[in-house]
């Protein structure tokens, strides 16, 4: 087996310089690392990668011990592109935290939005999905009260055996 080892860099401009390094290990296998200048390594320990030779999954990886993967979106209005952290996956437990700037989930799926009410919402084509008042919601009010809301005038049914 012949090992092909090459690196390439692509430079993109968006409120600063972003470097994307591509590390080709074997023909058809490509690992890509995105970062800022000075945050580039020969062998990526944090990367987004895929198998260029097939229809494999896109992998997002943080191989540093116990470090999270964070997702950012939006712009806080600063002079540079400064998005808000919206989701984190803890490297220590795999817990997922969703919420504006929320970084400390305490269970497998933890939703938090500061002092606001927060709900998990379930909709389908029968309930509609274009407004907060559609479907079924489970969550807590801004005052901390637990709520189960059937948003429409449909019945709420409880079952004790499998469907």
Domain ranges of the chain: 6-62, 69-111
Q: How far apart are CA 22 and CA 145, in angstroms?
A: 50
Tell me whether strands 29-35 and 17-26 are parallel, antiparallel or unpaired: antiparallel
pTM above 0.75, yes or no: no
The angle subtended at Cα 137 by Cα 132 and Cα 142, nearest 5°, is: 80
**Average pLDDT over every residue of 6-19:** 39
113 CA to centre of own chain:
16
pLDDT digits (tens, 9 = 90+) for 47-92: 666 655 566 666 777 777 888 988 888 776 666 667 888 999 999 9
Handedness of CA 58, 63, 66, 69 (dihedral sign): negative
143 contacts: CB under 8 Å, gap ≥ 6 = none
């Amino acid at each position: 087996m012949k090992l092909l080892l090459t690196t390439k860099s692509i430079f993109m401009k968006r409120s600063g310089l972003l470097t994307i390094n591509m590390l080709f290990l074997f023909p058809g296998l490509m690992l890509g690392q995105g970062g800022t200048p000075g945050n580039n390594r020969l062998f990526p320990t944090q990367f987004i990668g895929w198998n260029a030779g097939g229809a494999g999954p896109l992998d997002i990886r943080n191989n540093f011990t116990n470090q999270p993967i964070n997702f950012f979106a939006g712009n806080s209005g600063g002079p540079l592109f400064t998005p808000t952290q919206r989701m984190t996956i803890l490297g220590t437990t795999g817990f997922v935290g969703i919420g504006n700037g929320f970084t400390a989930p305490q269970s497998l799926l933890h939703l938090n939005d500061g002092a606001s009410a927060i709900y998990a919402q379930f909709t389908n084509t029968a309930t509609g999905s274009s407004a907060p008042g559609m479907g079924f919601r489970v969550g807590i009010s801004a005052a901390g009260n637990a709520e189960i809301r059937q948003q429409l005038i449909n019945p709420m049914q409880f079952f004790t055996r499998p469907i």
